[in-house]
Amino acid sequence: ALNLSGYVVCGIDYEGHGKSGGTPGLLSSVESVLDDLEAFLAQTLTTYNTLPCFIMGQSLGGTLGLMLSLRFTEVHRPPRSPCLPQRKPKVAPASQDWGARFRGAVLLCPSIVPPPVNPVLIAMSTMLSCVTPRLKVIRIPASDNGVLDRRLQAHWDRNPLAWHGPIRARTGHEVLQVQKWLQGHLSQVRFPYLLFHGTEDQTCPIVGSESLYT
């Protein structure tokens, strides 16, 4: 529909998802994913060098889109996992052109706060992430009552490239760290955004999106 309306839509499969490499469902580092997204965005801005740019993402993709927008507009970065070696942050390759062409973000059910999870798992998340990062710890419902479009959900349920298994220990830990970081930086979201979130979403609680307005 966006293509038919005259928009160019470009997407990326990040680590462990879709056709990208890595262990299926394993997100080893949010920072490395953001670096990949920066590089992809830089390539996109170069290819379509006269067009304005919007970032769009759903669920964890919405979270990453929110963080990518903050990374360019405020140069913020989330904390690194204690299991990963420290490295010097990369200079955003698209940042020089970002301010002039970024028009805003479209966020679909972004994951800003965690769903109800056993507090013991949260307390053990750092240890599990370091010791057994591939461990499957939390299962996500196959269908979510809060989905915005049932056809989109049905397509995702049938998609063999989508990860339908439980959240892995490292992925869960990385997401938890990002959520904590985001909750302390939401007041610095100053770019335009369009947000959609189902009130009955069980996976990405709507209270996270509501906190953008408080």
Q: Could you tell me the CATH number of the domain that includes residue 60?
A: 3.40.50.1820
Backbone angles phi, psi at 118, to 5 degrees: -55, 120
Between 30-47 and 169-183, two packed helices, what is the crossing angle to 10 degrees?
70
On whether residue 34 sits in a domain, the answer given is yes
Q: Does residue 2 form part of some domain?
A: no
Strands 102-108 and 53-58 turn out to be parallel
| Mean pLDDT rounded to a whole number for the chain | 83
Q: Where are the alpha helices (DSSP H) in 75-168?
A: 95-101, 119-131, 150-158
pTM over 0.85? The answer is: no
- Predicted confidence at residue 203, as pLDDT, reads 84
Separation of alpha carbons 178 and 187, rounded Å: 15
Does 148 score more than 70 pLDDT? no
d(CA 149, CA 106): 15
Task: Determine, yes or no, domain membership for 206.
Answer: yes
Whether the CB-CB separation of 125 and 169 falls below 8 Å is answered with yes
Taking only the tens place, the pLDDT of each residue in 153-184 is 788 788 888 888 899 999 999 999 999 889 88
Is residue 1 one of the residues assigned to a domain?
no
pLDDT in tens, 21-59: 899 999 999 988 998 998 898 889 889 988 899 999 988
Q: In which band, very low, low, confident or very high, does the pLDDT at 200 lie, cut at 50, 70 and 90?
A: confident
120 part of a folded domain = yes
Measure the CA angle with vertex 83, ends 127 and 184; round to 5°: 85
In a domain, 5, yes or no: no
Predicted confidence at residue 79, as pLDDT, reads 56
- Higher-scoring residue by pLDDT: 191, 141: 191
What pLDDT is recorded for position 78? 57
pLDDT band at 143 (very low <50, low <70, confident <90, very high): low
Q: What confidence score (pLDDT) does residue 76 get?
A: 54
Evaluate whether residue 9 is within a structural domain.
Answer: no
Write the pLDDT tens digit of every residue in 57-107.
988 999 999 998 887 776 455 555 555 555 554 544 545 556 678 899 999
Number of domain units in the chain: 1
Tell me the CA distances in angstroms from 6 to 9, 51, 71, 91, one per residue in order: 10, 11, 28, 32
Q: What domain range includes position 180?
A: 30-213
Is residue 112's pLDDT more than 90?
yes
In a domain, 11, yes or no: no
Instruction: Say which range, 70-84, 115-129, 134-148, 195-209, has the weakest mean pLDDT.
Output: 70-84
